[in-house]
Structure 1
Amino acid sequence: MRCSEHYNFTTPSSINSFSSQNMNQDFEENLVGLYLDATFSYKDYLYLNVVGRNDWSSTLERENNSLFYPGASISFVPTTAFDNIQGNGLNYMKLRFGYGSSAGFPTPFNTRDVLTLGARNLLDINGNVISGNTVSNTLGNRNLRPEKVEELEIGIDTRFFNRLNLNVSLYNKTTTDLITNRTLDSSTGFLSTFVNIGEMKSKGVEVDYDIDILKSGGDRFGFNIAGNFTANESIVTDLAEGTNNILLTQAISGKLPTML
C-alpha cells in the first residue's frame, strides 16, 4: 500500500507549499512468519540446534509469496568432554558446524505495472490545474520469486592462558533467485524490470581475537586489545535464462557501465 501526504487541498500539488519539497510517500508491506527453534544438549559438551521458518510476503503474487528456510547447527566442547585435554595453556575449545538459510523479499510494487497519478502536472493559460497520469518505466514481473541464501560454516572457538580468545570460521554461501533490476530495450516501452537472475556463490574466512594485556583482581581495571580479519570472494555462477549480462550502474564521467 502507498499513501501520499498532500499539502494544498484547494489546488492539489505534489509539492509542499511550506517547504517546497516533494510530498512524502509511505510504503507498507505485510510479512507473516512462523518460526521454530529447538536446542538439545548432552552433558554440557554436545549441543544440537534446529530452526525453521516460513514467511509470507505481501510484495509478491500469491503463487510465489511463501518461502520456507531451515537451519541446523552442532557444536562439541572437547575441553568439557575430556578433562585431560586442558593444559599447556588451553582453557577452552569448541568445535562447531552449521547450516543456515534466509529469505529476501522485494520492495512493494515490482510485480505489477504501476500507474503514477499527477495531481498538478501543469497549469493552463487561465490558471486551471491540469491533472494527469503516467505509466512507470519499470515493467512488473508477476513471476518474481523471493531470493534464498544458504550457508555452510565450520569454526573453532578457543581460549588460552585465560587471556587470549581466538575464533576462526570458514564459510561457503550460495544465493539463488537473486533479485536484480535488469535493463530492457526501450522499444518495449519500459526501461527495466526486476528478475531472479540465478545464482551467486561466496566463500571466505573470518578470524577474530581479543587479549587481556592487563588484568586486576576483581576486574576493577584492565587493558584489552581486540581485532578481526575477514576475506571474502564472490562470483556469479548463473544468470537468468536468456540473459548474458546485467547492467548494475549507468556510465558515469565517460566510464563504461559495470556489468555482471
Structure 2
Amino acid sequence: MAWNFEIPDFYAFDNATNDNRDFSSARSQKRLVGVFGEFRADWKNTVFLTVSGRNDWSSTLPVENRSYFYPSVSGSVVFTEFLPKSDWLSFGKVRASWARVGKDTSPYSLDTALWPSQSFLGGLTGVSNYWTAGNAALKPEITESVEIGVELRFFNNRLKVDYAYYTNNSYDQIMSPRLSNATGYILRSVNAGDVYNKGMELSIGGTPIQTKDWSWESTFNISGNRGTVKNLLEGVEILYVTDVQVGNAKAASFPNGNFMAISGSQWKRDEQGNVMLDKNGLPTKDSAGSNSVNREIGNREPKFSGGWNNTISYKGWSLNMLWEFRVGGHVYNGTEYAMTLAGVSELSAKREKIEISGVNTDGNFVTNTFEANKTYTYNGKETSGRTIIANYYQDIYPYETANFMTKVNALRLRTLSLSYTLPKTLLAKTKVIKRASITASANNLLLFTNYNGDPEVAAAGSGAVGSSSVGIDYCGVPSTASFAFGVNLTF
C-alpha cells in the first residue's frame, strides 16, 4: 500500500517515499519464442553429418533486431574404416564443426529506469534517473565457434590421443561498460566490441599396465587459450566489463590486446627503462595523461594449464591421484598490497633502511639509501628517515602496480583416494549385500607455486572484490584441504 505519490496519477509503489508506503514491489517479464530444426545422417556408421538451425524472437530487444537465426553444421569421418586392419592403429576419426549462437539481453535494457522516490539534500524528495542508461538500438550478441579435431586409438585401445583446435568469437557483445560521469550515468548497455578466442586442447591417455591382478590407467591433458578484444566503442580506450579493483589494479580489456588483462599505474621511466627519481631521490609517479593509472600491467590468462590423472588397481584395491598444473598468467596480490599499506607485510617490516635505484634529476644512475635513524631534506624540510620510509611503503611503493604482480606457475595435488572392494565370495555369505566398498579420499593436499598465497583464491566466478575477479587476490581464503571416509553397500 502507498499514498502521497510524488508524481501525480502515477500509481506505483516506487513513486512514494519510504514514509508513504508499507512495502515495495518489483516484477520482471520476458518473452522468448523459438523454432528449432535438426537433420542427422550417417553412412555405414562411418560418415556422420548433423545440421541444425534455430530462430528466436526476444521481447528484450528492439523490434527491428529481436529476430535472430543461428545455424550449426558438424561432421566426422571414421577413416580407419577405409583402411586395412592394423595391429597398431585401432581407431581413427576426424571431426569438424561450425556453430553460431545468438543471445539476447536482460529485460528492460532498452529504457532508462528511475530510482524509487527518496530524500535528497535540502530535504527535497523526488525521483532520479537510474545509474544505468538504456539503449534502444541493441542488437543480439552472436558467438561463432569452429572446431577441428582428431581422435586416435592405438594397440587395441591401450593408447588414446585426442586433439582439438578451436576458435570462439563473440560479436556485438552486450555489456555495461563504465561511462564518463559527464553523461549523467555510470553504466550503459551497449554492443561493445568483439572478443576473439583461439586455443588448443590435447588429451593423451591409456593403460600402460594391464594384467590379471594389476592395471594402471593414466590420462594427461593440456590446453591453452588466447583471448583478444577488438572494435570497441569509439572513445573507449579500455573496456572494464567488471567492477573489480584493488588499489589501482583493475580487470581490463585493451583494444587489439589481451581480453583478460590487468590495468594499473606505474613509476615514470626513461627510454632505457630506468626508474626516474624526483628531487627527493624517490621514484616519480607516471601521472602524465588521462591513462596514468590505466596501463596494461599483466595478463590473467595462463599460457597453458592441464592435469594428470592416474588410477592404479590391484585386485580389490584402487588408488586414484589427480595432479593439476598451470604455467604463466599473472595474479595481482591484493592481500600483500593491503598488508603493505597497513605496515604489517613482510616487505614493510624492512623499515630500518631502504635502497632506491634509478636515474636522478641530473640524468645519472644512482642508488639512494634512507635510514630510519637519520634525517634528510625532504620537500625542502628536514624529515626523519623513518617518516620517509613509512611514506614510501604507504604511497610510493604501492603506486607501482607491478610490485604486487606475479607470473604464476603452480602444481597442485587436487585429489587422492584409496578404495577397497570386498570380495564377492565374502559377501555371498551374508545373502543380503551384493557389493561393498570402503573409500578414503582427500582434496587439496599439496601446492607447489612461486606465488605468495593460493593463486586460485579468486578463480571461481564472483570474488571478494567484485564479479569475475579471477587473477586478483584480495584477502581470499586458500582452497581448503578436506578429508572423507565412506562405506558403500549395494543390496
Alpha-carbon shift at residue 227 of structure 1 (Å): 3.5
Structure 1 position 34 matched with structure 2 position 35: yes
Q: Looking at both structures, which has the greater relative contact order when contacts are Cα pairs under 8 Å and sequence separation is at least 6?
A: 1
Give how far 1:109 is off. 2.0
1:78 aligned residue: 79
Q: In the alignment, what sits opposite 1:19?
A: none
Greater mean deviation of Cα atoms: 240-249 or 203-212: 240-249
Q: CA deviation at 1:154?
A: 0.8
Contact 1:172 1:202 in 2 (8 A): yes
Contact 2:54–2:69 (Cα < 8 Å) also in 1: yes
Bigger Rg, which one: 2
State the alpha-carbon separation in 2 of the partners of residues 240 and 192 from structure 1: 14
* Cα distance in 1 between the residues matched to 2:216 and 2:195: 42
Q: In 2, Cα distance between the equivalents of 1:251 and 1:194?
A: 18
Ranges in structure 1 where 5+ consecutive residues have no aligned partner: 15-22, 123-129
- Quick check: 1:95–1:157 contact (8 Å CA) kept in 2? yes
Cα contact 1:44–1:80 (8 A) shared by 2: no
Aligned to 1:236: 229
Question: Letter of the aligned partner of 2:39 in structure 1?
Answer: A
Structure 1 residues 184 and 237, CA, compared in 2 at 3 Å: closer, same or farther?
closer
Counterpart of 1:102 in structure 2 is 101
- Paired residue type of 2:195: M
Aligned-partner Cα distance in 2 for 1:221–1:13? 68
CA distance in 1 between counterparts of 2:105 and 2:240 reads 18
Q: Is the 8 A contact 2:71 2:100 kept in 1?
A: yes
Q: Out of 142, 145, 157, which is 2:139 matched to?
A: 145
Query: Which has more strand, going by share of residues?
Result: 1
Partner in structure 2 of residue 246 of structure 1: 239
CA RMSD of aligned residues (A): 3.1
Aligned residues: 232
Per-residue deviation at 1:231?
0.6
Tell me what 1:87 maps to: 86
The 5 Å alignment of 1:1-260 reads 11-13=21-23, 27-82=28-83, 84=84, 86-118=85-117, 121=118, 133-161=127-155, 162-213=157-208, 224-249=217-242, 252-257=245-250, 258-260=252-254
**Cα shift readout 1:130-163 (whole Å, capped 9, x = no counterpart):** 9854321111000111111111211001122222
User: How far apart, in 1, do the equivalents of 2:64 and 2:106 lie?
Assistant: 17
**2:151, 2:163 within 8 Å by CA — same for their partners in 1?**
yes
CA shift for structure 1 position 13: 3.5
The one-letter amino acid paired with 1:68 is: F
Percentage of identical aligned residues: 30
What letter matches 1:12 in structure 2?
A: D
Structure 2 gaps, min length 5: 1-12, 255-491
SS in 2 for 1:190: coil
Q: Taking structure 2 as the reference length, what is the TM-score of the superposition?
A: 0.43
Q: Report the Cα distance in structure 1 between the residues aligned to 2:128 and 2:88, rounded to whole angstroms.
A: 71
CA distance in 1, matches of 2:244, 2:152: 49
TM value normalised by structure 1: 0.77
| Distance of 2:31 and 2:161 partners within structure 1 | 42
Take 1:132 and 1:213, find their aligned partners in 2: how far apart are those partners? 74
The 2-side partners of 1:137 and 1:157 are apart by 51
Which amino acid in 1 is paired with 2:33?
V
Change in CA separation of 1:216 and 1:61 when aligned onto 2, cut-off 3 Å: farther
- 2-side partners of 1:94 and 1:170: how far apart? 15
2 CA distance for matches of 1:46 and 1:154? Answer: 16
